[in-house]
Amino acid sequence: MTKLDLFPLWNSLRIALISTVIIFFAGICAAYYIAKLPPVIKGVTDAILTLPLVLPPTVVGYLLLRLLGPNRVIGKPLLALFGVKLTMTWWSAVFATMVIIFPLMYRTARGAFESFDRTLAYSAQTLGLSNTWIFWHIRMPVCRQGIMAGTVLAFARALGEYGATSMIAGYTPGRTATISTTVYQLWRTNDDAAAFRWVLVNLAISAVVLIAVNMLERKKA
């Protein structure tokens, strides 16, 4: 048995972690502020932000390439000004993953906020507590379960992202390879045994994440 090059594992984990952390805050912010918008604007914003959930990841990848590609609206000036390439690098996958997992975080956080008993916030306001304090000490802890669920779901999905990632970051062993792109590549090149080992790695990580969450929830309850 040949030694397994662990780069795809490390790369997948860092992409998933970074995008989950960013989307954790972005999703919660969006959920909090969009809930306050007037109904019509809320409906439209909501639809746009949820779109990546229902679009095929390849369509998301295509749209990202249209924006970030070396000759496109965002990619071109960044390359010209700072010499930063936004595609075919490992962090390109972070962009793709963020777009894909955003709706998961946003929608679960919104659901949690919507079921939040508003009289809790009102009573705290009448006691003179600031809205920021109320958000961090009352709203977030009370909505903890929903937000946790959203975060885990987002992380798990980030770890498994394939379609958009493969389009924008490609597959370069040791540079952009993730677990999911490696599995595909190994299978395509008839290296069934190696592909199977990566499948097992992926299964193990997913199982550990889900079991950890279950145990965490039980302890708190």
Partner 1 sequence: MSLEVNIEKSLGDFRLKASLPVEGGITGVLGASGSGKSMLLRCIAGIEKPDRGSIVLDGRTLFDHGKKINLPPQKRKVGYLFQNYALYPNMSVSKNILCGLHGVKDKKEREARLGEALRMFQLEDVAGHMPSGISGGQAQRTALARILVNKPKLLMLDEPFSALDQHLRLRLQIELKEMLAAYDGAILLVTHSRDEAYHMCDKITIADDGVFSPVRETKPLFADPATFAGARITGCKNIARAEKLGEYEVRVPEWNVSFRTAQRVRDGVKGVAFRAHYLNARTDENRFPVTFEGEMEEPFEWILLLRYEGQSPDSRPIWWRLPKDRRPQELPRQLGIAPANILLLYE
Of 181, 143, 137, 201, the C-alpha closest to 4 is: 201
Q: Which span (66-74, 102-110, 128-136, 174-182) binds partner 1, by CB under 8 A?
A: 128-136
Cβ proximity to partner 1, 5 vs 117, nearer residue:
117
In whole angstroms, the minimum distance from the beta carbon of 26 to partner 1 comes to 24
Nearer to partner 1, 142 or 213 (CB): 142
Residue in the structure block whose two tokens are 């903890």: 144
Q: Does 114 bind partner 1 (CB under 8 A)?
A: no
| Size of the residue set binding partner 1 (CB under 8 A) | 17
Instruction: Report in angstroms how near the CB of residue 100 gets to partner 1 at its nearest.
Output: 32
| Under rule CB under 8 A, residue 115 binds partner 1 | no
Q: What is the token pair recorded at 176? A: 């952009």
215-221 long-range CB contacts below 8 Å, 24 or more apart? 216/148, 217/145, 217/148
Q: What angle in degrees, to the nearest 10, is found between the helix axes of 92-114 and 39-54?
A: 130
Give the residue with the Cβ less far from partner 1, 13 or 142: 142
Q: Are 186 and 206 in contact (CB under 8 A)?
A: no
If one asks whether residue 130 binds partner 1 (CB under 8 A), the answer comes out as yes
- Comparison of 147 and 194: residue with beta carbon closer to partner 1: 147
- Work out the number of other CB atoms within 10 angstroms of the CB of residue 122: 11
Q: How many residues does the chain have?
A: 221
Minimum distance from CB of 166 to partner 1 (Å)? 42
Provide the binding-site residues for partner 1, judged by CB under 8 A: 117, 119-120, 122-130, 133, 138, 141-142, 144
